[in-house]
C-alpha cells in the first residue's frame, strides 16, 4: 500500500473507533445534533445550544436503536449539557491528554446527526491558554481548527489520528470559528453538572467597567487599572457589604484586579458563601471592605 492509502486507512479506523462512542442527540425541532458517550451507564455530553428543550429528548445509538434521555444539567457559559440516556450499555471513548494537542496536527471532526457517522478532515489551526467565553464561562484551553462544522456536528468529537477524542466540537461559543472544548473542561463541567445540575459561580451584583488609575496610585499599587462600579444591585452581596457606585475595585481576595476577566476568574463557585476582602479606591483613598460572596 502507498503512504496515502495507509493514511486513508488510518483515518477510517479513527472514525470507526470514535464512532462507537458517538451518538445522535434529538433535542430540538429541526436537525438533530451529536453527542459523545461519557459513561457506560448512559451519560452523554453534548453542546448546550443544541438542547432546546428539557423534555422529550432522545439519543440515537451507534447500533441504530433510539432511547429516551433526560437532561441532567447544563452550563450555557461553556456550551455544555449532560444527558442521561435510558441504557446501560454504552461504550466510553478514549480521551486524549493535553500533550496530544499541537498546531498542525491532523484532526477529524465527526458527527452523527443521522443514523450513520459523518466526518471531515482538518488540522489544529491555533492553540492558546485558558480563556473566558463571551457568556463568562472558563475554557481550560483555546483549540481552534480549520474543519468545516457541518449542520448537526456540534456536540460531536474532535478526533486525533489515533482515534482518541481531544475535545467536543461546537459552533456555539464564538461566531465564525470552529472550536473544540478540551477534555479538562469537559471533566470539570460534567462533575459540577452531576453534583448540582449547574455550575456554581460567585456573585457580587455589580456593573463594572475598566478604568485607568491616577499615576501616583498606579505606582503605589504597581498596577495601571481597576474596575469602576457603575451600578450596585439593591440587596446584593456588594450592596450588603458596603460597596458604592464610583468605587474602584483594585484587588479581590488579595489578588490584583485590573480587567473584568481578572475578577471573573477569582469569582469561582468555591467562593460562594465565603467572606472575602475587597480592596477599593474611594474618594482617592485606598480602603478594604469585607464581602460575603453570593452564588449565581
Say which residue the cell 439593591 belongs to.
234
What is the structure's pLDDT at 262? 85
53: phi then psi, degrees, rounded to nearest 5: -140, 155
Question: Cell triple for residue 115?
Answer: 443514523
**Using CB atoms within 10 A of its CB, is residue 106 exposed (0-12), middle (13-18) or buried (19+)?**
middle
Task: Write out pLDDT tens, residues 71-112.
Answer: 999 999 999 999 999 998 899 999 998 887 899 999 999 999
Residue 119 bridge partners (DSSP):
110
- Domains plus CATH for the chain? 98-187 (2.40.10.10), 202-295 (2.30.42.10)
Pairing of strands 225-232, 206-212: antiparallel
Decide: residue 195, CB within 10 A, 0-12 exposed, 13-18 middle, 19+ buried: exposed
Confidence of residue 70 (pLDDT cuts 50, 70, 90): very high
Please answer whether residues 48 and 75 qualify as being in contact, where contact means their C-beta atoms are separated by less than 8 angstroms: yes
- pLDDT value, residue 161: 86
211-224 as b/e: b if 16+ CB within 10 A: eebeeebeeebebe
Instruction: Name the residues annotated as catalytic.
Output: 49, 79, 154
**Residue 270 in this model has a pLDDT that exceeds 70:** no
Residue 56 has which C-alpha cell?
422529550
**Is 70 exceeded by the pLDDT of residue 269?**
no
Task: Report the predicted TM-score, pTM, of the whole model to 2 decimal places.
Answer: 0.81
Using one digit for the tens of pLDDT, what is the confidence trace for 216-265?
A: 999 999 999 999 999 999 999 999 999 999 999 999 999 999 998 888 87
Nearest to 32 by CA among 119, 120, 115: 115
Residue among 15, 7, 6, 81 at smallest CA distance from 43? 81
Q: Using the CB atoms, write b or e for 31-51: b if 16+ within 10 Å.
A: ebbbbbbbeeebbbbbbbbbb
Position of cell 479581590? 252
Quick one: pLDDT at residue 276? 92
Mean pLDDT of 23-36: 96
Going by C-alpha positions, the residue among 195, 181, 230 that lies closest to residue 45 is: 181
Question: Which of 68-77, 108-117, 165-174, 194-203 is the least confident region?
Answer: 194-203
Query: How many of the other CB atoms lie within 10 Å of CB of 207?
Result: 14
Amino acid at each position: 500500500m502507498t503512504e496515502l492509502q495507509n493514511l486513508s486507512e488510518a483515518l477510517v479506523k479513527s472514525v470507526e473507533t470514535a464512532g462507537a462512542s458517538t451518538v445522535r442527540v434529538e433535542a430540538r425541532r429541526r436537525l438533530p445534533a451529536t453527542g459523545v458517550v461519557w459513561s457506560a451507564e448512559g451519560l452523554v455530553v453534548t453542546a448546550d445550544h443544541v438542547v432546546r428543550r428539557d423534555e422529550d429528548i432522545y439519543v440515537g445509538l451507534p447500533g441504530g436503536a433510539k432511547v429516551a434521555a433526560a437532561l441532567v444539567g447544563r452550563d450555557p457559559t461553556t456550551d455544555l449539557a449532560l444527558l442521561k440516556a435510558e441504557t446501560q450499555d454504552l461504550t466510553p471513548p478514549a480521551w486524549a491528554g493535553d500533550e496530544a494537542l499541537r498546531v498542525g496536527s491532523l484532526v477529524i471532526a465527526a458527527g452523527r446527526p443521522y443514523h450513520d457517522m459523518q466526518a471531515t478532515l482538518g488540522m489544529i489551526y491555533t492553540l492558546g491558554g485558558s480563556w473566558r467565553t463571551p457568556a463568562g464561562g472558563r475554557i481550560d484551553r483555546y483549540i481552534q481548527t480549520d474543519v468545516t462544522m457541518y449542520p448537526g456536528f456540534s456536540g460531536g468529537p474532535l478526533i486525533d489520528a489515533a482515534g482518541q477524542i481531544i475535545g467536543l466540537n461546537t459552533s456555539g461559543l464564538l461566531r465564525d470559528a470552529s472550536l473544540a472544548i478540551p477534555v479538562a473542561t469537559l471533566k470539570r463541567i460534567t462533575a459540577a453538572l452531576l453534583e448540582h445540575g449547574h455550575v456554581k459561580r460567585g456573585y457580587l451584583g455589580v456593573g463594572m467597567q475598566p478604568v485607568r488609575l491616577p499615576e501616583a496610585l498606579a505606582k503605589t499599587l504597581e498596577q495601571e487599572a481597576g474596575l469602576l462600579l457603575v451600578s450596585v444591585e439593591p440587596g446584593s452581596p456588594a450592596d450588603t457589604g458596603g460597596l458604592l457606585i464610583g468605587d474602584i475595585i483594585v484587588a479581590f481576595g488579595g489578588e490584583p484586579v485590573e480587567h473584568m476577566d481578572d475578577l471573573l476568574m477569582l469569582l469561582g463557585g468555591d467562593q460562594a458563601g465565603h467572606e472575602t476582602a475587597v480592596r477599593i479606591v474611594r474618594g482617592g483613598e485606598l480602603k478594604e471592605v469585607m464581602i460575603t460572596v453570593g452564588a449565581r
